[in-house]
Structure 1
Amino acid sequence: MPVGIEAWLWQVPPITRAWLALAVATSLAVQCQVVTPLQLYFSFKSAFTNAQPWRMLTTFFYFGPFSLDFVFHLFFFMRYSRMLEESSFANKKADYFWLLFVSSIMLLLLSPLFNLPFLSSSLAFVPIYVWSRRHPSIPISLFGIFTISAPYLPLALVLFSWVISGTWKAAAGDLIGCAVGHVGWFIRDVWAREMMGGNGVLGEAPEILKRIMGDI
């Protein structure tokens, strides 16, 4: 690995870095025919009835074969996950992990309802959505063509995903990710603070997780 790439990688915050590494490694494993997508997708029957629990994890790391859609999702997930982890969740690794963990559970429960075997792109839209709601006044230039305000970023990316994939079904997972991201943002930034006066169990990581990840 070139020194420049290695140095850049270690500048990426730990949660985003681990997710990025696992996503690239999973796609490489499929590309090299070490595993097949059929061994990675999630369904309740495969995970529980057939006793293949790893599918509850691998579904969040496979972004598909190397393609424009793969680069699109990986780039925007990495960019906004990193920005969110470096700003709102600076020195709060456990809280950021908890946000993604709770969002993952929600997506696993929604998966059968919308027939979504792979949930990587859905989860990737959670940090994009949360970042956009926490920075509402920031203008975003999309591909140097037009400028939008941050709250419209997730929907703009969903539409672009629809265009490059060619089918609305392919973008449905991204839209569901936005919905789950909205729930995560609402629980943490609206409901917990305004109605409870502080973060609840869904908005803040348990103390044991904070200790494990070195936040306290």
Structure 2
Amino acid sequence: MPVGVEAWLTQIPPITRGWLLLAVATSIGVQCQLVTPLQLYFSVQAAVQKAELWRGITTFLYFGPLGIDFVFHMFFFMRYSRMLEESSFANKKADYLWLLILSAIILLGLSPMFNLPFLSSPLAFVPIYFWSRRHPSTQISLFGLITITAPYLPIALVGFSWILNGSWRAAASDLVGCAVGHLWWFLWDVWGREMVGGPGFWSQAPEPLRRLVGEE
């Protein structure tokens, strides 16, 4: 791997970097026909009844075949996940991982309801939405075409995703991710502050997870 790419990767926070590398490797594996999407998607029947438990993980790693839509989702996921991990979760990688784990569990539960076999894009929209609500006054230029404030970013990206895919289903899956992101923003920043008066169990990683990532 070129030194420039290695240097760029080392600058990305660990949780975002790990997810990025696994997602890219998964799509390359599909492109090279080492695996097929049929081996990666999530369904209750396949994961539970057939004991194909890996599907509960691979569904969050496959962003689709290499192409414009793949680059679109990976770019915005990596950009805003990185920014969130470097700001709100600076030196709190266990808490950020805990946020993603809880979001993944909710999305697995919602998958049969919305017929979502792949949950990578919905999960990627969780940190995007979370970041946008924590930086409400930030101005963002999208592709040099329009300038919006951060809270409108997720909806704008959902619209671009709809245009790229030409199908409402892709937009619907991203909206599910926005809904989960809104839930956690409400619990962490609104409910936790106004009703609980401090962080709740959902905003603090359990001790085993902290030890796993080296935060004892």
TM interval, shorter chain, is over 0.9
Pairwise CA RMSD: 0.7
1:41 corresponds in structure 2 to: 41
Deviation track 1:74-125 (CA, whole Å, cap 9, x = no partner) reads 0000000000000000000000000000000000000000000000000000
1:12 is the counterpart of 2:12:
yes
Map 1:52-67 to 2 at 5 A.
52-67=52-67
Question: What is the deviation of 1:168?
Answer: 0.5
TM-score, with length taken from structure 1 = 0.98
Question: What is the deviation of 1:148?
Answer: 0.3
2:194 corresponds in structure 1 to: 194
SS in 2 for 1:202: helix
Work out the CA distance in 2 between the residues paired with 1:121 and 1:163: 15
1:69 corresponds in structure 2 to: 69
Deviation track 1:173-200 (CA, whole Å, cap 9, x = no partner) reads 1010000000111111111222111111
SS in 2 for 1:140: strand
Work out the CA distance in 2 between the residues paired with 1:199 and 1:211: 20
Work out the CA distance in 2 between the residues paired with 1:51 and 1:7: 40
Comparing 199-208 with 170-179, which one deviates more in the overlay?
199-208
The gaps in structure 2 that reach 5 residues or longer are none
Work out the CA distance in 1 between the residues paired with 2:191 and 2:213: 26
Letter in 1 for 2:82: R
Identity %: 71
1:25 corresponds in structure 2 to: 25
Deviation track 1:131-185 (CA, whole Å, cap 9, x = no partner) reads 0000000000000011000000000000010001001111111010000000111
Work out the CA distance in 1 between the residues paired with 2:183 and 2:67: 30
SS in 2 for 1:74: helix
1:182 corresponds in structure 2 to: 182
1:100 corresponds in structure 2 to: 100
SS in 2 for 1:160: helix
1:158 is the counterpart of 2:158:
yes
- What number of residue pairs does the alignment pair up? 216
Work out the CA distance in 2 between the residues paired with 1:98 and 1:192: 16
The gaps in structure 1 that reach 5 residues or longer are none
TM-score, with length taken from structure 2 = 0.98
Work out the CA distance in 1 between the residues paired with 2:208 and 2:190: 25
